[in-house]
């Protein structure tokens, strides 16, 4: 008996997850995937940050730190303006 193709298997898993309800989920792990070797935490910044996690195996939670307390402070000509 032939094995189902990857797309058929993904479709079957998605259908099964929908049938189980919102409190349950399916986790698909690709044991052949490379482990993510980038940072596991980020602090909000003024520019976009991209982390190359697509297709990688994450080994722990990714943490987004709180916005720094000095975020929105503008110092100019000896005066400080707080943007909120």
Cα dist from 19 to 11, 15, 26, whole Å: 13, 6, 11
pLDDT over 70, % of the chain: 57
Query: Is residue 49 a contact partner of residue 43, using CB atoms and an 8 Å limit?
Result: no
Put simply, whether the predicted model's pTM sits higher than 0.75 gets the answer no
Structure tokens at 59: 């080994």
Query: Is residue 57 a contact partner of residue 32, using CB atoms and an 8 Å limit?
Result: no
Q: What is the pLDDT of residue 1?
A: 47
- Average the pLDDT over 28-34 and give the result: 76
Q: State the Rg of the chain over Cα.
A: 22
- Average the pLDDT over 52-65 and give the result: 91
Q: What is the pLDDT of residue 42?
A: 95
């Amino acid at each position: 008996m032939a094995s189902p193709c990857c797309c058929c298997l993904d479709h079957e898993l998605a259908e099964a997850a929908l049938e189980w309800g919102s409190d349950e989920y399916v986790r698909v792990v690709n044991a052949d995937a490379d482990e993510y070797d980038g940072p596991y935490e980020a602090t909000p910044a003024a520019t976009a940050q991209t982390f190359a996690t697509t297709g990688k195996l994450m080994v722990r939670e990714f943490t987004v730190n709180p916005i720094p307390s000095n975020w929105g402070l503008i110092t100019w000509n000896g005066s400080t303006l707080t943007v909120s």
